[in-house]
Structure 1
Amino acid sequence: MTAPRDPFFPADKSIRASAAPIDVRELGLVDYQEAWDIQAELAAKRATDEVGDTILVLEHPSTYTAGKRTQPEDMPDPSNPVPVVGVDRGGRITWHGEGQLVVYPIIKLAEPVDVVDYVRRLEEAIIEAVRMAGVETAGRIDGRSGVWVPATTKAADPAAPTRDRKVAALGIRITRGVTMHGLSLNCNNTLEHYGHIVACGIDDADVTTMSLELGREVTPADMVPPLIDALERALAGELVVANHSFGSAPDPSKGLRKRPKA
């Protein structure tokens, strides 16, 4: 089956502007602002071909990041000690922290730039990696980005949420044809901090982790090799986007005004 709409490029064709190997950099635990600065520098250089395509692989200390469509009611209480950083990606507020695998592809996309196809390919890579690890029902909810586990799937750990639940989130920005930001996959992180926000503006579903779903410890390091392999294949068109949707729901960012700049 094919993507939700026909992409600009054939599904089996690369959407990268370059055929050169991608430089994958594993950075460990990095402060959010520091990682953002690294991304911005690389993206500017990639736009002028000073560097090649790069994928940053890391974790962040506990941080909330508020995308451009974040609403006041999404935010944590001002007394919450976890810092909130306003960012230039799409979407609303989410949380990052240790135990969560974060991947930032800095990729120059082929012309014409197809944002929808890029997002679908990121999702396809995550779905592939998550299913290979054992969460075999992971898929999409039409109208909402990211990768989800359906309510009909019973998690191995009884402490896991039981509604439809997001295991991986996406938030991107494309400037001068170069991608920034990317994806986060919950591995063995706490879910405590999600309870203080309306994560991604969604209050009718939950979030989960690989560890809760599988009933065993799954670390970010465990998921790096399969996820990066799947991501490289998805961008190259070797892993073709398929229809993994199991439901539909309203887009939580549609029609909302952008977050006022600080």
Structure 2
Amino acid sequence: MTAPRDPFFPADRSIRADSTTTLDIRNLGRMDYQAAWDLQAELAAARAAGDIGDTILVVEHPNIYTAGKRTQPEDMPTNGLPVITVDRGGRITWHGEGQLVVYPIIRLAEPVDVVDYVRRLEEATIHTVRQLGVSTAGRIDGRSGVWVPSTTTAADPSAPTRDRKIAALGIRITRGVTMHGLALNCTNTLEYYDHIVACGIDDADVTTLSLELGRPISIEEATAPLLAALEETLSGRMTVADHTFGSAPDPTKLTNQKRRQARAQGQG
């Protein structure tokens, strides 16, 4: 199968500027989101200066909402949980207990292809989710992340039934170095998603590996295969395939449309 679009950078080559060194994997355990973000910024600056090599942080956060650059007032939580405004793309999401979060701090090879980098993260995550047993996981054209289609029946009858996101992505690239990354829902509750418009999407749901498979899938069980798949996709040994099973409106573009309509009506 072919990729969603031809990359600017050769698909069979490492997207890392320095592919000769081993990735430095740092498992941080459970860490406060702000502390992890500060650490990311410190490491990204060091990577840009050439003081350290490519690094991947593996972490679980205490429950928190984070709002990306495109977050709208109507997205915000209704339960009083704190929100941290961050410098990644996208809108609001939740991080918390039972969710595996991975932050690659990678200097990208030239020419920098942001879309290809995101697709490689998605490819690694799709591969991992399928390897763990959710065989229909894939992409929805127009929306980032990894999804399970509505045609798939989850093993747990309490699971959502619409198209549902199992992993979210949000990144930032500064001076050619990546920050932020991906969050894979493992054993976490979905309760916190009920109080936000997650990623600005209100016509789909969110799910977890445990709900889809009907058994607990811990962060520890998902970590090793995900890190292995990331190394394969970043190196170009696993190329991006077209796992698209549907299409839907991009929530960011919908926001822009609403703004244009409001201006036309003299509301903003």
* Interval of TM-score (by shorter of Structure 1 and Structure 2): over 0.9
Q: Does 1:246 align with 2:227?
A: no
Deviations 1:32-63 (A, max 9, x none): 00000000000000001000000000100000
Q: Aligned runs of 1:173-192 on 2, under 5 Å?
A: 173-192=172-191
Partner of 2:193: 194
- State the alpha-carbon separation in 2 of the partners of residues 168 and 146 from structure 1: 6
SS in 2 for 1:152: coil
Q: Distance in 1 between matches of 2:45 and 2:101?
A: 21
Q: Work out the CA distance in 2 between the residues paired with 1:255 and 1:89.
A: 19
Q: Which residue number corresponds to residue 33 of structure 1?
A: 34
Q: Does 1:3 align with 2:16?
A: no
Q: Which residue of 2 aligns with 1:260?
A: none
Q: Name structure 1 gaps, 5 residues minimum.
A: 258-262
Find the counterpart in structure 1 of residue 106 from structure 2: 107
Q: Distance in 1 between matches of 2:253 and 2:39?
A: 30
Letter in 1 for 2:76: M
Aligned to 1:220: 219
Between the aligned partners of 1:119 and 1:69, the Cα distance in structure 2 is 18
Shift of 1:81: 3.4
**Aligned partners of 1:37, 1:101: CA distance in 2, in Å?**
19
Tell me, yes or no, if structure 1 residue 21 matches structure 2 residue 16. Answer: no
Large movers: runs of 4+ above 4 Å: none
Write out aligned runs for 1:37-52 (5 A): 37-52=38-53
Give the whole-Å Cα distance in 2 for the aligned partners of 1:110 and 1:239. Answer: 17
Instruction: Name the SS of the counterpart of 1:160 in structure 2.
Output: coil
The residue aligned with 1:89 is: 88
Distance in 2 (alpha carbons) for counterparts of 1:145 and 1:252: 10
Structure 2 stretches lacking a partner, 5+ long: 257-268
Alpha-carbon distance in 2 for matches of 1:150, 1:171: 21
Provide TM-score, normalisation by structure 1: 0.96
- Correspondence for 1:12: 12
Q: Which amino acid aligns with 2:4?
A: P
* RMSD, matched Cα: 0.8
Separation (CA, whole Å) in 2 of partners of 1:56 and 1:254 = 31
In 2, Cα distance between equivalents of 1:137 and 1:11: 24
Change (3 A) 1:187 1:69: same
SS in 2 for 1:253: helix
Number of equivalent positions? 255
Matches within 5 A, 1:159-178: 159-178=158-177
Corresponding position of 2:132: 133
1:210-240 residue CA offsets vs partner (Å, 9 max, x unmatched): 0000000001111000000000100000111
Taking the aligned partners of 1:22 and 1:129, their CA distance within structure 2 comes to: 19
Q: Distance in 2 between matches of 1:18 and 1:256?
A: 38
Q: CA deviation at 1:256?
A: 3.8
Say whether the 8 Å CA contact 2:9–2:112 is kept in structure 1.
no
Cα separation, 1, equivalents of 2:25 and 2:219: 15
Answer yes or no: is the 8 Å Cα contact 2:92–2:200 preserved in 1: yes
Give the deviation of 1:145 after TM superposition: 0.1
Looking at structure 1, the residues matched to 168 and 117 of structure 2 have their Cα atoms a distance apart, in angstroms, of 14
TM-superposed deviation, 1:65: 0.3
SS at 1:105 equivalent: strand
State the secondary structure of the residue aligned to 2:156.
coil
Tell me the TM-score normalized by structure 2. 0.94
